[in-house]
Amino acid sequence: MSRKPWEFENPLCSEIGTELFFLEDRDEKTVFSQEEYKQAQKICFSCSHKTECAEWAIYNEGFGVWGGLTAKDRAQIRRARNINLTVSLTLSTM
């Protein structure tokens, strides 16, 4: 699990951009339907990097769909495996 998803060879998500995979970034007040998440998951489930991407995200990512797993899915897995999210968000001051 040493590679980061952006180091994968030709991941399917790289062909369409990131907006679909980060629905919660669009508008904090919007409630997203399961159908919107399923669109992103369908792409992930067809990708040869699905498992590697999902495992990386379980340990490193709090937002978005990665390897077909939503943020909620990954949080449940982390709780079950007793894993703490290792990413720290850094805010820069201007």
Reply yes or no on whether the pLDDT at 3 is more than 50: yes
Report the length, in residues, of the chain: 94
Q: Taking the model in full, what pTM does it have?
A: 0.79
Q: Is 66 helix (H, G, I), strand (E, B) or coil?
A: strand
Lowest mean pLDDT among 31-35, 60-64, 68-72: 31-35
Q: Residue for token digits 């699990």?
A: 1
Reply yes or no on whether the pLDDT at 15 is more than 90: no
Cβ burial of 13 (10 Å; 0-12, 13-18, 19+) is buried
Reply yes or no on whether the pLDDT at 85 is more than 90: no
Start-end of H helices in 7-49: 34-45
Alpha-carbon gap, residue 23 to 28, rounded angstroms: 9
Reply yes or no on whether the pLDDT at 57 is more than 90: yes
Residue 79: what pLDDT?
A: 96
